[in-house]
Structures are given as C-alpha cells and as structure tokens.
Chains A and B, each alone.
Chain A
C-alpha cells in the first residue's frame, strides 16, 4: 500500500484584470471572457473566505445577484449550480451564461448595483507543498485529518476534484487503491455533502465518520 502523502496549500488572491461588473449585462460579459481560474475562484474557493458562511448561496454570483442586484430569482437559479458536477470550467461557464441569458430575456430592465456594490472578478494562485506527513494505513486517516489545516482539507477534499481523476477527492482516490476491504472508509467519506459546509466542519466531519468506521471493525 502506497502511503498517503499529506500536502498543504496556500492561496494568494489576485485581481483578474477585468473591470468590475455593475449590472447584470456586465456580469454576463465578464463571465463570458474571464479565465477558468476566475470562474473557479468565484464558484469553488469561496470556502476559504469568511463570506462563505453566507447562509443562502455558495457561489459569489448568486450572492451578488441577491444582495446587490436584488434579483432573488436569478440568485436561486445561480445558487443551485454545483460547480463540481461539471467536468470542465467551460461547461460550468456555459451553464452560468445560460441562466443569465434566460433571466435577461425575462426582465424588462437590466438590474444594476449601486456604486460601491460592484462585483470584482478575482482569481487565485495555489502554492502546494509537501508537509512530510505520510499515512500508512486507512485506519489512521481520520486521526490525521483531525490535525490537518483547513487548507490541507481544502486541497485534498475539494480542490482535488478538479484534478485527474476528475470529480474524485484525494482520500477516496487513495482508498480505492488500497483495496476492496477499505470500501467502508470510501462510503464514509462519500456520505458527506461537502458543498454546504465550511472547511472546519468538513475536517471534523471527515474525522468523525472515519473514526466510526474504525469503531465498527
């Protein structure tokens, strides 16, 4: 069994270089041309920010539509888009534009945000480094996760879904290689609805469900 290499990452956020969007049409135009990294940032990296705890929606576009455009219909439609369900950023971009175009077609006026409430397009660079920590056996996975940084959990459990094998987290990927007897661990990890939880909660939840598997063995 190949040990699991625990990595960590640090994100640095930067401006995308695009002018901010101050109305729905500008939002549409910016999303059409922004980089895949910017799209990923506004859909997926929200978990690393304080504003992630906004109780309504999990991506910046939906939150902005609700709070600053005052368009709850659009917010709901954007809010349900699950970025991890798309194989590529191009597919996610197309789905987002489809929702916005549909909404623009329904409205008689383009909703706009007040000065100071514009949406700024950002992206990030992720610096990944090896922590030197190795997990030799799945039975140690939960205890090790409990001591990980939130950014380590983000890298292995969320960001991993963007890397090959696509849509699979690193823990599951490793457990699948460990053998069929570790299937309960895979099931435990997959039982977590990761999309609606903060990283701190995910870390604790992963540790808990993995510990419960160990307890039943």
Chain B
C-alpha cells in the first residue's frame, strides 16, 4: 500500500515529494501536537485532517487533540473570535474566567502529551490559554491565528494579547492579518487539497450532469461566483457586473453558496440577491448544502471565468479553487485575493461592478486569453497554494524553531 504522501506525486511531481521527505528526515521522531476546538467542520479541522497523517507519513510523531467545552464556552469563544475580527462584543470578567476554567479542565486531560511534546501548535483563540497552564513544558509553543486580527475590538485583543504574547512564535496567513507580537511571527498562507472532493478531477459525465441539473446552457459563457451570501462578497455587485456584460454578450451567471437559514444577515443578503436577480432566467442563485463539494467542483469546472468580487476578504480559498480548475479569476482587490490574482497573468483585480464587467468583457472578447491565464493560474496554485507547500512551511518552521536563530540561512 502506498503512503498518503505518495498520492500527491502525480499532482506535484517527484521533486516536491523528495523535498518533503528530506525535510521530514531531519525531523524524524519529532513529537508535534496540534490542538484546536473541533474535530469536524471548519477550515482548521479540514487542514488537520490531512496535515497530521502526512506529517506522520514523513516520519514525525504528529497528533491532534481537541478541547471540549459546554455551549457557554463556545458562545464565549465565538465572541472572542468575532471580537478579534473587529466586532464590538461584550465579554465580562466572568466570561474570561469560564474560558480559563474550560482550558484548565482540558489541560488536566491533555497534560502528559502537552508536557512531552517537542512542538505544540495551538490553533485559534479557543485553546490559547493552555500555554499558561503548562509550566513544565519542554517544547516550543506556537499560536496559529487563522483569522484576520489586524483590526480587533481592542478590549478583546488587550486580554488575548496577554495570553498569546507568551508563545514562542505565532503564525498568520498574511502579514496584513497580523498584530505585532514580541516573538517571531511567521507567515504561512493556507492551501487547498488537490485530491479532496472539492478539487479532484471529475469525470466529464459528472460535470455534464451538474450542468443539466441546474439548467445551464452549454453554448453560452458561464460566470461563477462561489461564496456564502454575505455583503462583503458583494453578490449584488456581481449581478450588476453581469448586467453590464449582458448588454453585449449572452452570458449566464451562477451565484452558489451555503444555506443561510440560521443566519439573519445571510438571509437578508439572499433576499437582496433575489430582488436584484429579478427572476432573470440566466441568473442561477443556488443554495447548496455544505456537503455539495462535488457540485461546487463541477460548477467551477463548467465556468469560463470565476468571479470573487469581494469588498473584504480573508485569504479567499474559493479563488484558489477556481484557479486550480484552470480558470482566470476576476476578483476584488482586497485581502488574500491580491496574493493570488496577478493582473493579466492569473486574472484581474477589480474595485467596482464596472471594473469587473470591463475585465469580463475583455476576456470574453479574447477567448484565447481565458485559456492562457487559466493555465498560468493552475500552475501558480500548484507552486504556491497546494497542501504540499503548506506542509513544507510547517516542516521548515520546526527546523527554524529548533535552531532558535535569526540567521538568514542555515544548513541542516
């Protein structure tokens, strides 16, 4: 039976796997423990699902621990999460004590593994307090912030800063998401798994079945934006861009995202989208269940151009996914989209519906550019935004921490 990492050889090539194995050899036996707050659901769990087995495959002793808490704890950590992202939230002293108490109960359960680990990676704020409880720790502790904390609600950050600044290092997805902390702050962008349901190659018959299911016309160009119904994703702006293009080209538009029934804001945005769509038969607003990975995969593959016209964005992994399918992306000039979309190479950065319409018209008028830019986009993702690069960054980080130096280069 081949190893988990070997499955990626066909995607990234043997040289990249050789590089990972060589880095892994230098870390053989290193005990690394990841801690987060959920085993299922959410981006962090998705990362750890592949990262832990691949690290083990490369010779490390990786494990994944999850902290447990009652609903009140998770309400509090949700408020911390929102506060870090700039929302005005109310957290009392009692709330912070509940946060600490739940961390303390989890620490008693996890104490042996945390004390013995060579490297502990604490993901997001929920388990961050564990560090202060582990006074007999032997290894390095890293705080991994997956969210943008550049403009936090100050009272929340003021408290959390006292916790996170004691770590040996922290990791952010982008410099723009970070706060200055008194320890090394590393930058590791997220990634996609090319073999996941959302990104793997699909049979043409399956793709065509999705086309039929949603009534898409194969003879006309298709624009696709995949994202939840959120004002910052500007779905109404996408419709405005579509209407400008529609005056000169017979395009179709798909706006597909997760259900919004339990999210009052999402529901309101969806209503605005439906009103803006005005029953246009060529605007397909699709509310898909969270498990619709293959349908989303197929829709991205069916598209001529992927749109992500966000006015505010985290890293924008839907952009990465679209690029991996070989599509040029017309994306908002914000957040991580800027790291991925390079004008005239992998797509276009835009600021307005008019700008998006202009670039879409350019691409539809120069059809060969769609293929050329899509091809570059796929290679950019292969080089920079697949999980193999993500894994390499983590292995490199462990080697850098073991050296404990700020030298520009060193040999291992």
> Taking the complex as formed, is B303 at the interface, i.e. its CB lies under 8 A from any CB of chain A?
no
B-contacting residues, A85-128, CB 8 Å: 116, 120, 122-128
Closest to A149 in B: B15
A131 in complex: contacting residue of B22, B338, B346, CB < 8 Å: B22
> Taking the complex as formed, is A13 at the interface, i.e. its CB lies under 8 A from any CB of chain B?
yes
A-contacting residues, B328-384, CB 8 Å: 334, 338-340, 342-346, 376, 379-380, 383-384
Q: What's the Cα separation between A37 and B342 when bound, in Å?
A: 25
Closest to A199 in B: B383
Does A51 contact B409, Cβ atoms closer than 8 Å?
A: no
Does A127 contact B396, Cβ atoms closer than 8 Å?
A: yes
Q: What's the Cα separation between A159 and B188 when bound, in Å?
A: 21
For the complex formed, measure the closest distance between the CB of B180 and the CB atoms of chain A, giving whole angstroms: 7
> Taking the complex as formed, is A200 at the interface, i.e. its CB lies under 8 A from any CB of chain B?
yes
Does A8 contact B176, Cβ atoms closer than 8 Å?
A: no
Which chain A positions have C-beta within 8 A of B22? Answer: 8, 129, 131-132
Which chain A positions have C-beta within 8 A of B19? Answer: 8, 10, 131, 149, 151
B411 in complex: contacting residue of A19, A53, A129, A150, CB < 8 Å: A129
List, sorted by A's number, 29 A–B pairs whose CB atoms are closer than 8 Å: A9-B409, A10-B19, A10-B23, A10-B392, A10-B393, A12-B393, A13-B187, A15-B186, A37-B408, A49-B384, A50-B340, A50-B383, A50-B384, A51-B342, A53-B346, A54-B342, A116-B176, A120-B175, A120-B176, A123-B408, A124-B408, A125-B396, A125-B407, A126-B408, A126-B409, A126-B410, A127-B399, A127-B409, A152-B15
> Which 8 residue pairs spanning A and B have beta carbons closest together?
A120-B175, A126-B409, A10-B396, A15-B185, A128-B411, A12-B396, A13-B187, A149-B15
Which chain B positions have C-beta within 8 A of A50? Answer: 339-340, 342, 346, 380, 383-384
Bits for A38-65, please: 1 = Cβ < 8 Å to B, else 0.
0010000000011101110000000000
Does B184 contact A14, Cβ atoms closer than 8 Å?
A: yes
Q: What's the Cα separation between A151 and B19 when bound, in Å?
A: 10
Which chain B positions have C-beta within 8 A of A123? Answer: 408
Which chain B positions have C-beta within 8 A of A125? Answer: 396, 400, 406-410
Closest to A49 in B: B384
Q: What's the Cα separation between A152 and B178 when bound, in Å?
A: 30
Does A53 contact B345, Cβ atoms closer than 8 Å?
A: yes
Closest to B385 in A: A50
Q: What's the Cα separation between A186 and B58 when bound, in Å?
A: 38
For the complex formed, measure the closest distance between the CB of B299 and the CB atoms of chain A, giving whole angstroms: 24
For the complex formed, measure the closest distance between the CB of B362 and the CB atoms of chain A, giving whole angstroms: 16
> Taking the complex as formed, is A147 at the interface, i.e. its CB lies under 8 A from any CB of chain B?
yes
Q: What's the Cα separation between A36 and B395 when bound, in Å?
A: 25
> Taking the complex as formed, is A17 at the interface, i.e. its CB lies under 8 A from any CB of chain B?
yes
Q: What's the Cα separation between A131 and B21 when bound, in Å?
A: 10
Most B CB within 10 A of own CB, among A7, A40, A120, A125: A125
> Taking the complex as formed, is A143 at the interface, i.e. its CB lies under 8 A from any CB of chain B?
no
> Taking the complex as formed, is A148 at the interface, i.e. its CB lies under 8 A from any CB of chain B?
yes
Does B407 contact A10, Cβ atoms closer than 8 Å?
A: no
Q: What's the Cα separation between A144 and B400 when bound, in Å?
A: 28
Q: What's the Cα separation between A53 and B345 when bound, in Å?
A: 7
- A14-B186, A15-B172, A40-B408 known; 7 new pairs, CB 8 Å cut-off, are A7-B411, A8-B19, A50-B384, A126-B409, A127-B23, A151-B19, A159-B409
